[in-house]
Amino acid sequence: MTDIEYSKYKPGDEAQILELHHRVFNSDYTLDYWKWHFRDNPSPDAQIWLALLKGKCVGHYALMPMSLWVGEEISVFQSLISMIHPDYQRRGILKGLESVAGTNLAGKYPMYTFLNHNSYDVYTKRFGWEYMGDVPIYVRLVNTRLFGERHPLLKILNPLCLLYQNFFSGFGRRLYFTEFSDFDEDLENLWLRNRERLGITFNRSQPWFQWRYSKGPIEYIKYKILDEGRVVGYLVLRYQPRFGFKFGWILDILVDDEPGKHLFSRTLQSLALESALQCDILSLLLPNCTYRTDLHRAGFFRLPKRILPHPFYFCVRPYDYRNKAFEDITKWYLSWSLHDAL
């Protein structure tokens, strides 16, 4: 549309952005959430572009700065909250927003995003994003008795569920958890001694960690993982009701790589015991294929695609960044923390 003006965000635009978000997504996205995403982010220079029609915001395109570790620290952007007012869709506005944002950045920074089915074709066929491949979602049933209470037809599965639960509860010495609030020296050392083996992942610096898990509007539970009193990892959880069940989303998990100790699978087994009164189902992304056996050992199974509420696409746009590992999903260490909705 020739009468559309593309403008970079300026203070005071928040009210129109929130109004558009509510109109497009029918959501409860709040000003506090928006400020956390873009103003409080420890990485500066968020790129937020608006499409204005006679002063009214009818489109929005945002790039949130992030820091990734790829053997060194690099700056990237996460594309999120792309939205066009329903009355003005299919008029090239999103393409205009994407173009002006890309021109402003001059192709300097690689990007990543998670897309739904509505956005996938536009991003990959028109904007040049690359689909990285399937990111498996794994779950474990935790509180099986509640299934029968909430869904009476599932009572007949209780004996099988209890057998399943008992079978996966006894492998290896149990680990224990203690809650923490701040990213301290123990966790910094944990990150430093493990980051080289993880592949591509977000840079778990103290400022990023505090921003992501402690300063925002979402309540997260943060645990240090203890093996005989020694800190061997951490994990971050969010409990949330979804689809009639209470989910425990494992946002992030990092454990020491100690040969023969199976710390990753033992952490998940111990967490299932710890969470039995807090949630019905635990869920995490497969970090990468090397962890598949650990997940199976801990009683997690892959959620079939056909029962997901919508397809789930992980995509990147490398621009001028020439590290081919960035475009290879097997080189990434993935977690729900990379997804802005959790």
pLDDT tens for 263-282 read: 999 999 999 888 877 888 99
Q: Domain with 51 in it: what CATH number?
A: 3.40.630.30
For residues 186 and 293, membership in a common domain is answered with yes
Residues 6+ apart with CB under 8 A from 207: 42
For residues 101 and 169, membership in a common domain is answered with no
d(Cα 90, Cα 147) in Å, to the nearest integer? 43
d(Cα 33, Cα 64) in Å, to the nearest integer? 13
* pTM metric for this prediction: 0.88
313, part of any domain? no
128, part of any domain? no
Indicate the length of the chain as a whole number.
342
pLDDT for the residue 42: 86
121, part of any domain? no
DSSP secondary structure code for residue 91 in this structure: S
For residues 93 and 174, membership in a common domain is answered with no
In terms of Cβ atoms closer than 10 Å to its own Cβ (0-12, 13-18, 19+), residue 156 is exposed
Taking 90 as the threshold, does the pLDDT of residue 85 lie above it? yes
């990434």: which residue's tokens?
332
123, part of any domain? no
For residues 89 and 162, membership in a common domain is answered with no
184, part of any domain? yes
132, part of any domain? no
For residues 299 and 230, membership in a common domain is answered with yes
């923390």: which residue's tokens?
337
- String of DSSP letters for 210-221: HHHHTSSSS--E
Domain count across the chain:
2
The pLDDT tens digits for 214-259 are: 988 899 999 999 999 999 999 999 999 887 889 999 999 999 987 7
d(Cα 252, Cα 97) in Å, to the nearest integer? 32
Please identify, among 56, 90, 109, the residue that sits at the C-terminal boundary of a domain.
109
CA atoms within 13 A on the CB side of 340: 23
**CA proximity to 22, closest of 97, 63, 81:** 81
Residue type, 306: R
For residues 54 and 146, membership in a common domain is answered with no
Supply 308's token pair.
Answer: 């997901």
The pLDDT tens digits for 98-149 are: 989 888 876 778 999 998 888 899 999 999 999 998 889 999 988 766 555 6
Residues 6+ apart with CB under 8 A from 339: 114
Taking 80 as the threshold, does the pLDDT of residue 1 lie above it? no
Decide if 12 contacts 4 (C-beta within 8 A): no
The pLDDT tens digits for 4-22 are: 999 999 999 999 999 999 9
For residues 87 and 158, membership in a common domain is answered with no
Mean pLDDT of the residues in the chain:
86
Range(s) of the domain holding residue 48: 5-109
For residues 279 and 166, membership in a common domain is answered with yes
Local confidence band at 168 (pLDDT 50, 70, 90 cut-offs): low
81, part of any domain? yes
115, part of any domain? no
For residues 97 and 192, membership in a common domain is answered with no
d(Cα 331, Cα 325) in Å, to the nearest integer? 6
For residues 10 and 59, membership in a common domain is answered with yes
d(Cα 286, Cα 74) in Å, to the nearest integer? 23
For residues 85 and 202, membership in a common domain is answered with no
| Number of neighbouring beta carbons within 10 Å of residue 73 | 11
For residues 155 and 91, membership in a common domain is answered with no
Pairing of the two strands 245-255 and 73-84: unpaired
